[in-house]
Amino acid sequence: MMRLKGLPVVEKESSVKGLGPGFWPFTGLLTLLAIANIYFWAVTPLSRWMPTAVTVATQIDELFRVFLAVGIALFIYILGYAIFFSIVFRARKDDPPDALGVQIHDNHKLELWWTVLPTIAVILISWASVRVWFPIQIASASTPAGLVVESIGHQWFYTFRYPGINGEVTGNMHLPVGEPVTLNVSSEDVIHSFWVPAMRLKQDMVPGLINVMRFTTDRVGRYRIICTEFCGVEHGVMNKQYLVIEPKAQFAAWYHSWQVKNATASNALPQISSAPIDLSDGSAAAGQVLFSQKCSACHAIAPFSKRIVGPGLKGVLHDPAHPNLLSGKPATPANVADILQHGLQGSYGQMPTQVQNALTDKDIANLVAYLNSLK
Ligand SMILES: [Cu+2]
């Protein structure tokens, strides 16, 4: 019995005895519901609601079944008892306001069960997960790679690279049906995530890192690719491209059309040229639009001291109190362009390079014209 020191003891045990009337029949009812739930998930084809595109999807659905069966069974018991007890042990009209319910302490049998059962449930779920995930991700690393394709995340779209096709493929990602595929995903700017619900696989696309997805296509169709990592203002519309799984002949025709289309495309990664940029015909209006897309996350149009990540840029070219740039050079358009080209590492952190910000030379000219127009 709990007692608060110094307070007068006014206690009235609930008049309801033990676990309450009807506890065991009610437990029987919950058990019936839990069994019905398990039966439902054992027999229902999940692909009725969720189409599958690759073989591993079916295996992952088996795992979903286990999780849904166990999780919903627990939900039925926990919620069922919560409702049952709150009705049976509700405060009666004539109860004093400080009446307590039945106090159960040191019930070793109960404590044993609520330790053993969840432990078994967690071990079961882990075992089921490892059994499905190990062959998909780890053991398959030693099997032939099949068709190796790359996908690169950008703000806010995906591009693809195929062996034998120059440069990058845009639009939808095509794959032949019935083929093992290794998909290497990465990103050019921020962290994105490559998710095709019909594959049941999801992988982060991280700049500077290649993550691997392995699967075998097994159903012709068009399946949406969705970015599931918040990646900037247009993240929400990064779901407009499809994985198109098609018969081999159709895939071959699509593949050939890109070989022709990209025949002269370059495979070289974008390079920062060492030559200074021609700033003569930059447009301040175009620069303003670019600034809001590419720079405003890190820079305010405000005085130098108004820092976000980097300093405020309002007076960067016309502030007598700011004669030198952080690069140590005088504040001139050419020296600002130099920072936009090569980036800058200093006490504020890292200003990204032209390639990391995905800026063309013309973009830089426009941005410098815009910064120059701010007085
Ligand atoms: Cu994204």
pLDDT of residue 1: 43
pLDDT of residue 84: 94
**Helices and strands (H and E) in the chain: how many:** 7, 11
pLDDT of residue 14: 59
**DSSP for residue 375:** -
CA distance 239 to 223: 10
Q: Flag whether pLDDT at 258 surpasses 80.
A: yes
Token pair 């590419």 is found at 294
Averaged pLDDT score across all residues of the chain: 88
Among candidates 187, 189, 219, 221, which has minimal Cα distance to 203?
Answer: 187
Residue 269 CA, ligand 1 centroid: distance in Å? 21
Residue 53 CA, ligand 1 centroid: distance in Å? 22
How does pLDDT run across 344-364, given as a tens digit for each residue?
A: 988 888 888 887 787 888 999
How does pLDDT run across 99-111, given as a tens digit for each residue?
A: 776 677 788 888 9
Q: Flag whether pLDDT at 269 surpasses 70.
A: no
CA distance 320 to 332: 12
Query: Residue 185: beta bridge partners?
Result: 151, 211
Residue 227 CA, ligand 1 centroid: distance in Å? 5
Residue 190 CA, ligand 1 centroid: distance in Å? 8
Strand ordering across the sheet containing 201-205: 173-176, 241-246, 221-227, 192-196, 201-205
For the chain, where are the alpha helices, taking DSSP H only? Answer: 23-43, 55-88, 108-133, 248-261, 284-294, 333-342, 361-373
How does pLDDT run across 159-177, given as a tens digit for each residue?
A: 999 999 998 999 999 999 9
Residue 187 CA, ligand 1 centroid: distance in Å? 9
pLDDT of residue 95: 78
Residue 296 CA, ligand 1 centroid: distance in Å? 18
Q: How large a percentage of the chain has pLDDT more than 70?
A: 93
The CATH 1.10.760.10 domain(s) of the chain lie at 284-373
Q: Flag whether pLDDT at 5 surpasses 80.
A: no
How does pLDDT run across 183-231, given as a tens digit for each residue?
A: 999 998 889 999 999 999 999 999 888 899 989 999 999 999 999 999 9
Residue 305 CA, ligand 1 centroid: distance in Å? 32
Q: Flag whether pLDDT at 282 surpasses 60.
A: yes
The residues placing their C-beta within 5 Å of ligand 1, an ion, are 192, 227, 231, 238
Superfamily of domain 284-373: Cytochrome c-like domain (1.10.760.10)
Residue 240 CA, ligand 1 centroid: distance in Å? 11
pLDDT of residue 80: 96
The CATH 2.60.40.420 domain(s) of the chain lie at 145-261
pLDDT of residue 18: 72
Q: Flag whether pLDDT at 62 surpasses 90.
A: no
Q: Output the DSSP codes for 120-167.
A: HHHHHHHHHHHHHHIIIIIGGGGS---EEEEEEEETTEEEEE-TTS-S
CA neighbours closer than 13 Å in the CB half-sphere of residue 266: 4
CA distance 197 to 178: 18
Residue 337 has a CB neighbour count (10 Å cut-off) of 22
Secondary structure (3-state) at 282: coil
pLDDT of residue 16: 67
Residue 283 CA, ligand 1 centroid: distance in Å? 29
State whether CATH 2.170.270.10 applies to domain 145-261: no
Residue 158 CA, ligand 1 centroid: distance in Å? 8
